[in-house]
């Protein structure tokens, strides 16, 4: 059976990552999202093993000590990490695993797993990103400026990414993501191994 690949999707707050990923998951049945572990308590409606694996701090530290995470970080007092086991099991089953994480976490994973495909979602322009953040209506003007600044910093840090998808329309962005996934499976490696064996 074809082995799955790991894809990391990063991009600024407000660019529409969530919408694009949701549409991709509906389009491709060979794609699943990685489930992270966290020490934060579940929010209403969240279930263990679905949104996150909810762990106590001791268990999380134990997983860190046992090298169970591809990467982990602390964010406003809670720990978050990508469990290796979940990702590897899904890939063995032929699933392409999608990780939605920030550039720093992505670059950390890319060192450990250089075969990981890094994709950054861009807005059509910085002005358009600002417009979308304003339209979302969840942030004050100061916070929007901070998010824009952060978005530009992340983009600068993402120059080692292999692909940049522009989210002008969701349909076009999904088409690009789908094409990247298909193309990545046409690379030499798993594709040519069996044929080389028969030479
Ligand atoms: P929340 O508590 O709102 O679900 O997530 C808080 C932050 O943690 C978000 O920015 C989310 O993207 C990030 N996050 C969730 N899981 C992971 C993970 O496994 N690794 C990293 N680096 N960040 C994560």
Question: What count of other Cβ atoms lies within 10 Å of the Cβ of residue 115?
Answer: 10
Q: Where are the beta strands (DSSP E) in 52-162?
A: 52-54, 69-75, 78-83, 96-100, 117-122
Whole-model pTM?
0.91
Is residue 54 a contact partner of residue 120, using CB atoms and an 8 Å limit?
no
Centre of ligand 1 to C-alpha 102, Å, is 8
pLDDT at 199 over 80: yes
pLDDT class for 193, splitting at 50, 70, 90?
confident
Which atom of ligand 1 has the smallest separation from the CA of 36?
19
Return the structure tokens found at 64.
């860190």
Instruction: Assess whether the C-beta atom of 81 lies below 6 angstroms from ligand 1.
Output: yes
Q: Pick the closest to residue 115 from 2, 196, 1, 4 (CA basis).
A: 4
pLDDT at 1 over 80: no
Is residue 73 a contact partner of residue 79, using CB atoms and an 8 Å limit?
yes
Q: Pick the closest to residue 97 from 123, 119, 79 (CA basis).
A: 119
pLDDT class for 76, splitting at 50, 70, 90?
confident
Centre of ligand 1 to C-alpha 18, Å, is 13
pLDDT at 152 over 90: yes
Which atom of ligand 1 has the smallest separation from the CA of 38?
16
- Residue-wise pLDDT for 8-28, tens only, equals 999 998 999 999 999 999 999
- Residue-wise pLDDT for 125-138, tens only, equals 999 999 999 999 88
Instruction: Assess whether the C-beta atom of 108 lies below 6 angstroms from ligand 1.
Output: no
Q: What is the pLDDT of residue 194?
A: 81
d(C-alpha 5, C-alpha 117), whole Å: 8
**Crossing angle of the two packed helices 126-136 and 141-157, in degrees rounded to 10:** 140
Centre of ligand 1 to C-alpha 190, Å, is 32
d(C-alpha 102, C-alpha 104), whole Å: 6
Residue 134 sits at φ, ψ, to 5 deg, of -65, -45
Q: What is the pLDDT of residue 75?
A: 87
Is residue 169 a contact partner of residue 23, using CB atoms and an 8 Å limit?
no
């Amino acid at each position: 059976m074809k082995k799955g690949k790991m894809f990391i999707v990063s991009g600024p707050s407000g660019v529409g990552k969530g919408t694009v990923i949701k549409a991709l998951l509906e389009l491709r049945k060979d794609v699943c999202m990685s489930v992270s572990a966290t020490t934060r308590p579940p929010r209403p409606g969240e279930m263990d093993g679905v949104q996150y694996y909810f762990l106590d701090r001791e268990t999380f530290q134990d997983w860190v000590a046992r090298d169970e995470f591809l990467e982990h970080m602390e964010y406003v007092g809670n720990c978050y990490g990508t469990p290796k086991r979940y990702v590897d099991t899904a890939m063995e089953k032929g699933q392409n695993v999608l990780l939605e994480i920030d550039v720093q976490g992505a670059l950390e994973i890319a060192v450990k797993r250089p075969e990981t495909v890094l994709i950054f979602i861009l807005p059509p322009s910085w002005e358009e990103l600002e417009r979308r953040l304003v339209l979302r209506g969840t942030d004050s003007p100061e916070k929007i400026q901070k998010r824009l600044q952060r978005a530009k910093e992340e983009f600068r840090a993402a120059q080692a990414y292999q692909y940049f998808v522009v989210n002008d329309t969701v349909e076009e962005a999904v088409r690009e993501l789908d094409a990247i996934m298909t193309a990545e499976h046409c690379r030499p490696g798993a594709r040519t191994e069996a044929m080389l064996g028969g030479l």
